[in-house]
Structure 1
Amino acid sequence: MFATGPGVAPAEETLPDVVVSASRAEQKRFDAPAAIDSVAVDSLAAPGPLINLSELLTGVPGVAARERQNYAQDLQLAVRGFGSRSTFGVRGVRLFVDGIPATMPDGQGQAATADLTNASRIEVLRGPFAQLYGNASGGVVQIFTPDPPKAPMARATSGLGSDGQWMAGVTVGGGNDRIGAVLDAWTFDTDGYRDHSAARRRQLNAKVVAEPVAGTKVTALFNSFSQPLAQDPLGLTRAQADANPRQAVALASQFNTRKTVDQNQGGVLVEQRLSEKDSLEFRIYGGTRQLTQYLGFSGIAPSSAGGIVDIDRTYGGGALSWHHNTTLAGLPLTWSAGADADAMRDARTGYVNQNGTQGALRRDETDKARSLGAFAQFDWTWHPAWRLVGGVRASQVRLRIDDHFVTAASPDDSGTATYNNVSPVLGVVWQGLDSLNVYANLGRGFETPTLTEVAYGPGGTGTNLGLQPSSSRQGELGVKWQANGQRLEAALFDAGSHNEIVPLSNDNGRSVYQNVGGVRRRGLELGWHGAFGPGQRFGTGLAYTWLDASFGDAFRNAQGQTVAAGNRLPGTARHSLSAEATYRPLAGLTLGVEMRVEGRVFADDLNTQAAPGYASFNLRAGYAFRVGKVRWFAFGRIDNLADRRYIGSVIVNESNGRYFEPAPGRRFFVGLRAEI
């Protein structure tokens, strides 16, 4: 992680080094027995708009977070190569916001609804311990917002930038020792870098925290997210991207490709301390999500699912966990145990896309997913310098499809599938010095097919509920060192998976998936940051990832061609580097330069199409000052300073060969925040 970075607090203001992800109990990040980064976020002094999660995760090794300049598709998020094959949304990585899952029971998640303008920190857990959260092979990303302040406060923000970017927001809050509340609302508009890529977003978030009696803490959360417009420019061929990276293909205008989303969610979390040694945590949540998406084809064929997708979703769940501190052989032992249950129900319909207007019905079904899990975890200091850590999780995921649109051309696609898995993990930590920790972990996990991936069976008939989950075995070896304002971390990892889910065919909008032998992901992660000079005026940071991800066995792809064993996994770069340097020449003023380097990324399983490697540079400046009782922060940034053309993301295995999504050229953003 970086001590300073886009949306990250400067070193002297860094939040306490506390995480909860690795052991489900608070501990210092340095002591966590896993590869974990905690990115502190300062909502007042962040030198960026705080709209996309990619702004905050570029400095985390092992993580690829690519903002696609396409708000009709979520950002691409992968951890150690897991999740890189997702063409929309986030899969293979579990997402949480203030303890509430943002990943559905089938493993598909959305990052767009997270409230970054009022975040306090983001934690990223990588490796085997992520398996204890269930259906997540690669990692866990948790976003936390601060508790309400004890005294009244108000904050306002506004900013504008290239391509018609404009955002504004307001936060108010206050309370006392017993109860407090905070309300946050913001809006964001953009014309988009590319043609036909305009977007509008609105969000409202509320958080109430009450401590009615000693040892009891109740947190109530509400989130309302509205995206009334998100045009989809679709991908480009390499020739199109080279000729004019701003263009959208003609189909985008013909079918008016776009997406609208409305999501409302509420939840309650209760933390109850029973004694000095015992505590309970409980959560319950629920929500609704309405989504309509216009795709780049008509879907008029009788066997098609239609070129318009309409989903009306309800979802919810709950969890209970117990934490206990004790001793074993006279040395500290902490253990946790718990259970969780989550469910979703989609009323899904599909219609013909008649050049941007809704046509005849082509799909009508009810899709359901349910997940149940139970876990136990321990952390035992069996020697003053040694700790043994481990746990196990038992999971069950059930998918069900009830087809209500049955015709001669569209047979009954109803069916169910149930997946069971036991995921153990075991590790050891050696604290050789107060400034040095070494750890090693081994674990096993799984990743189920999503409802989208089981929707259509081979040959265009029935479902594909015979599709199997991908299973993985992971190991990592890591070291953490910190002293004199410096922090260095390194991790080696090796993950082998079986039954990877890849495309088998695509016909009339019906994508069919298959299991293939497996994928091996192995690599090296390095992270370093430090502060230097009088008053720590100079700050530096670096995050490097070497990732070797390849297919273990040959298989036939969606075009009937043979993908050779040893081909690289599309969507992954072998080398990724983020670096930055900051300088504070005078009180309140911070100057920074950022660099991002990424190697070639293949776009298809055959490894015939690729986005070339690139290097980009950004400049930023921020100035904090006070006028009376009001604290102000003015900031500005220039991204892609050299105005270099490069491909920012790829659409893996895009069936029409339009794999590429160009990154913007040189662009700016300036903003002003005030807090009292």
Structure 2
Amino acid sequence: MQKDIVKRLIFSVRVSPALTVLGMMASTSVVHAQEQAASSAERLPEIVVSGSRSESNRFDVPAAIDVIPLNGFTAQSPLVNLSEVLGAVPGIQIRERQNYAQDLQVSIRGFGTRSTFGVRGVRILVDGIPATMPDGQGQSSNASLASASRIEVLRGPMAQLYGNAAGGVLQVFTKDPPVKPEASFSLGAGSDNQRVLGVAVGGGSDILGGTLDVTRFSTDGYRDHSATRRTTVNAKVVARPSSDTKVTAVFNSIDQPLSQDPLGLTRADFQMNPRQVTPRAMTFDTRKTITQQQAGLVLEQRLSSSDVLNARVYGGERKVFQTLAFPGDALVQAGGVIDLDRGYGGLGLDWRHETQVNGLPLNWTLGMEMDALSERRRGFVNDNGVQGALRRDEKNKARSTDVFAQADWTFAPQWRAIAGVRLSRVRMLVDDDYVVRNPDPSLDNPDDSGKVVYTQTSPVVGLVWHARDNINLYANLGQGFETPTLAELAYRTNGTGPNLGLRASTSTQAEIGAKIRQGRHLLDVAVFQSRSKNEIVQEQSQFGRAIFQNVNGVERRGAEASWRSEWNNQLSTSLAYTWLDARFRQAFNSSNGVTDAGNRLPGAPQHSLYTELQYRWQNAVTAAVEMRADSKVYVDDINSDAASGYAVINLRAGYSFDAGAARMMLFGRIDNVFDRSYAGSVVVNESNQRFFEPAPGRRLYIGVRTQF
């Protein structure tokens, strides 16, 4: 299969019109870069990343990885959702659904597009602690942008070194405590009664310091019945008792007492009034309440000049109460009210060693990780928004155990190779406590307890050629896997109980890329292809149950390009383009009908483009114009309908100045300047054809930040 992938990848480079365009962009960019370099010897700052599990210069990493620096004081944005800050990263789609009961839709290179709630197919980490559970389900709400210093996005085969559901990896790093005492206050308001209030304090010394950040966000929502209130608390303590030891303690809390769910709209309702709410949402008062607390400890210990030990341990709990748009049915063991109480935790350990062979660097890493969750899931009848009779009661567990090894060898002055392997074992257990005996056997609900174990070996190899000081060419090949989540295992077609016959999806991925840097200009280009076996897709959905099946022959191929330039000290531009051809190569049946070979994966636009022009004046005034465009997105596997493509323009501006002992920042932004009506996201394979989730029209937001 690996040979076939590489052949098809090379073929796609030869024939794809989109790649021809990228080639033209690359040559044009290099010419401009060379002209600019003649008048300026300055370079873009070096950025250190940890995406390949060992710190390295981003430019030298043989993989598609982007780093977005964040400054919570100067950012001209509310800093509520990841979708605000990752537009300039190709290959990643983050759709703000205007529905905080269902989280953002996050996908990387077509992985994760099927998710109707939470994040699938993309691993999320915050300060090295997973926000993705052992079963592969994650949430983006763990990341507080107000506390963040940078975000890394790793795509392609190298992401497979992070294990289950790593179609890509998104890492958020929070800022370390300042040496001098510091305090800040932020306040913002915008359309739809959006309010953001934040307070942060921090300080310490070179030995011990801490930060505390509290943010409160609320909105009435763009649509009816979509109000949300959320408070996040993030704390971080960093201790350096010696030059060889660094200990970091982190704490995160989320309190979301209200998040109404307006549900998706049919095409007719969307065209008639995109701000309306689905009547069933009002009938059953669809909503979600979330509370979560999490703490972790990370140790970095230098054992010698050549050896570094990293260790982490974490734990937390998450409680969810949610009402869905159906009553519930005892026969199918499904309830329209969900009461979930989850505890989770884990530990990890890795050892990095640096040495030399023939005078050139050879570094290797050995490590292990163990993560576990245990949850009590109960379902009740939804009696018009009120909790009714019990319909589901079970204890679920998931545990993953992984060991991994990686070698990074510069075997010649211009050549560097990376090879790694990860052995994963994921065990899931369902302990059914909802057992009903009835004189009529057809009305019985038997004990459906059971367990399933998934194992996978994920090898990855990569090669980079430093063709010149400013040109790197690289190639990668790897295998990965994605297990079903506990939610995807919950139901089966015939009878009650979990679908323990559902298999893990496996993928083989290949990537070829180039990184070109000249002066203040940086161009990245990559082409990629993956083929999946046993892809997890929806078979049917009824009575509130989504039932899944495995299909073969799912292919994702495409190209990415990003171009960042600082033309002078005032003017900078960014461009990110993604071409994604994600298709089912084999036909299969579901309750929606026949999915033909050649159908596109729902939720994945073929073309995505982001551009930005920013101007700075005297380090005090900043103004920028942003443009985002996506092509149409299919709503289901049978491609029965699609959300139309769109292009929107956003404007932002900020002014910073000193006011006595304080530094002030005034900013504002207008999103969707021309009030374009479009569907910002789709509910994939929605059984009632309520596919469309409208994006807001023109929105205004203004804010002020003060830093002491």
TM superposition shift of 1:587: 3.6
For residues 634 and 273 of structure 2, what CA distance do their matches in structure 1 show? Answer: 21
Match for residue 648 of structure 2? Answer: 616
1:458 and 2:488 matched: no
Q: Tell me: CA distance 1:404–1:551, structure 2 relative to 1, closer, same or farther (3 Å).
A: same
Q: Tell me: CA distance 1:399–1:357, structure 2 relative to 1, closer, same or farther (3 Å).
A: same
1:287 and 2:316 matched: yes
TM superposition shift of 1:484: 1.5
Is 1:15–1:40's contact at 8 Å kept on the other side of the alignment?
Answer: no
- Taking the TM superposition and a 5 Å limit, the aligned residue runs for 1:75-114 are 75-114=104-143
Match for residue 511 of structure 1? Answer: 546
Does the residue aligned with 2:534 lie in a helix, a strand or coil? strand
1:547 and 2:547 matched: no
Match for residue 500 of structure 1? Answer: 535
For residues 411 and 567 of structure 2, what CA distance do their matches in structure 1 show? Answer: 37
Choose from 142, 148, 153 the match for 1:119.
Answer: 148
Choose from 610, 632, 640 the match for 2:672.
Answer: 640
Q: Which amino acid aligns with 2:88?
A: G
Match for residue 531 of structure 1? Answer: 566
For residues 542 and 75 of structure 2, what CA distance do their matches in structure 1 show? Answer: 46
For residues 182 and 247 of structure 1, what CA distance do their matches in structure 2 show? Answer: 42
For residues 604 and 234 of structure 1, what CA distance do their matches in structure 2 show? Answer: 16
Match for residue 395 of structure 1? Answer: 424
- Taking the TM superposition and a 5 Å limit, the aligned residue runs for 1:144-223 are 144-223=173-252
Does the residue aligned with 1:167 lie in a helix, a strand or coil? strand
1:19 and 2:49 matched: yes
Is 2:542–2:687's contact at 8 Å kept on the other side of the alignment?
Answer: no
For residues 16 and 45 of structure 1, what CA distance do their matches in structure 2 show? Answer: 21
Match for residue 28 of structure 1? Answer: 57
For residues 617 and 359 of structure 2, what CA distance do their matches in structure 1 show? Answer: 52
Question: Alpha carbon RMSD of aligned pairs, Å?
Answer: 1.2
Bigger shift: residues 90-99 or 411-420:
411-420
Bigger shift: residues 546-555 or 402-411:
402-411
Q: Structure 1: give runs of 5+ residues left out of the alignment.
A: 1-11
TM superposition shift of 1:506: 2.0
1:446 and 2:489 matched: no
Does the residue aligned with 1:632 lie in a helix, a strand or coil? strand
Match for residue 8 of structure 1? Answer: none
> How high is the TM-score relative to the length of structure 1?
0.97
For residues 45 and 175 of structure 2, what CA distance do their matches in structure 1 show? Answer: 11
Number of equivalenced pairs? 661
Does the residue aligned with 1:253 lie in a helix, a strand or coil? helix
Is 2:289–2:320's contact at 8 Å kept on the other side of the alignment?
Answer: yes
Q: Tell me: CA distance 1:224–1:14, structure 2 relative to 1, closer, same or farther (3 Å).
A: farther
Bigger shift: residues 394-403 or 576-585:
576-585
Match for residue 4 of structure 1? Answer: none
1:603 and 2:635 matched: yes
TM superposition shift of 1:300: 4.1
For residues 348 and 561 of structure 2, what CA distance do their matches in structure 1 show? Answer: 35
Does the residue aligned with 2:282 lie in a helix, a strand or coil? helix
1:418 and 2:453 matched: yes
TM superposition shift of 1:15: 7.5
Q: Tell me: CA distance 1:16–1:309, structure 2 relative to 1, closer, same or farther (3 Å).
A: farther
For residues 76 and 672 of structure 1, what CA distance do their matches in structure 2 show? Answer: 29
Does the residue aligned with 1:306 lie in a helix, a strand or coil? strand
Does the residue aligned with 1:398 lie in a helix, a strand or coil? strand
Does the residue aligned with 2:494 lie in a helix, a strand or coil? helix
Identity of paired residues, percent? 56
Does the residue aligned with 1:130 lie in a helix, a strand or coil? helix
TM superposition shift of 1:46: 0.3
Choose from 591, 607, 612 the match for 1:558.
Answer: 591
Match for residue 6 of structure 1? Answer: none
Q: Tell me: CA distance 1:97–1:137, structure 2 relative to 1, closer, same or farther (3 Å).
A: closer
Choose from 241, 256, 267 the match for 2:296.
Answer: 267
Does the residue aligned with 1:30 lie in a helix, a strand or coil? helix
Cα deviation code 1:537-562 (max 9, x no counterpart): 11100000000000011000123x21
Q: Tell me: CA distance 1:13–1:298, structure 2 relative to 1, closer, same or farther (3 Å).
A: farther
- Taking the TM superposition and a 5 Å limit, the aligned residue runs for 1:251-400 are 251-400=280-429
TM superposition shift of 1:33: 1.2
For residues 370 and 14 of structure 1, what CA distance do their matches in structure 2 show? Answer: 43
Q: Tell me: CA distance 1:484–1:14, structure 2 relative to 1, closer, same or farther (3 Å).
A: closer
For residues 520 and 663 of structure 1, what CA distance do their matches in structure 2 show? Answer: 29
TM superposition shift of 1:482: 1.1
Is 1:413–1:455's contact at 8 Å kept on the other side of the alignment?
Answer: no
Cα deviation code 1:123-151 (max 9, x no counterpart): 00000011110002410000001110111
- Taking the TM superposition and a 5 Å limit, the aligned residue runs for 1:132-147 are 132-147=161-176
Match for residue 35 of structure 2? Answer: none
TM superposition shift of 1:276: 0.8
Match for residue 567 of structure 1? Answer: 599
Q: Which amino acid aligns with 1:83?
A: G
For residues 177 and 585 of structure 1, what CA distance do their matches in structure 2 show? Answer: 35
Is 2:398–2:426's contact at 8 Å kept on the other side of the alignment?
Answer: yes
Does the residue aligned with 1:654 lie in a helix, a strand or coil? coil
Does the residue aligned with 1:247 lie in a helix, a strand or coil? coil
For residues 255 and 538 of structure 2, what CA distance do their matches in structure 1 show? Answer: 32
Is 2:123–2:169's contact at 8 Å kept on the other side of the alignment?
Answer: yes
For residues 414 and 105 of structure 2, what CA distance do their matches in structure 1 show? Answer: 40
Cα deviation code 1:244-268 (max 9, x no counterpart): 0000111111100000000000000
Q: Tell me: CA distance 1:15–1:532, structure 2 relative to 1, closer, same or farther (3 Å).
A: closer
Q: Tell me: CA distance 1:423–1:365, structure 2 relative to 1, closer, same or farther (3 Å).
A: same
Q: Which amino acid aligns with 2:202?
A: G
TM superposition shift of 1:573: 0.4
Cα deviation code 1:127-176 (max 9, x no counterpart): 00111100024100000011101110001111000001001011101001
Cα deviation code 1:474-506 (max 9, x no counterpart): 000000011110010000000000101111122
Bigger shift: residues 505-514 or 47-56:
505-514
Q: Which amino acid aligns with 1:284?
A: V
For residues 292 and 518 of structure 1, what CA distance do their matches in structure 2 show? Answer: 38
For residues 93 and 234 of structure 1, what CA distance do their matches in structure 2 show? Answer: 24
TM superposition shift of 1:630: 1.0
Match for residue 254 of structure 2? Answer: 225
For residues 516 and 199 of structure 1, what CA distance do their matches in structure 2 show? Answer: 38
TM superposition shift of 1:16: 5.3
For residues 382 and 395 of structure 1, what CA distance do their matches in structure 2 show? Answer: 29
Is 1:612–1:646's contact at 8 Å kept on the other side of the alignment?
Answer: yes
For residues 138 and 484 of structure 2, what CA distance do their matches in structure 1 show? Answer: 13
For residues 45 and 340 of structure 2, what CA distance do their matches in structure 1 show? Answer: 40
Match for residue 234 of structure 1? Answer: 263
For residues 495 and 70 of structure 2, what CA distance do their matches in structure 1 show? Answer: 48
For residues 88 and 105 of structure 2, what CA distance do their matches in structure 1 show? Answer: 16
Is 1:304–1:508's contact at 8 Å kept on the other side of the alignment?
Answer: no
Does the residue aligned with 1:295 lie in a helix, a strand or coil? strand
Q: Tell me: CA distance 1:151–1:381, structure 2 relative to 1, closer, same or farther (3 Å).
A: same
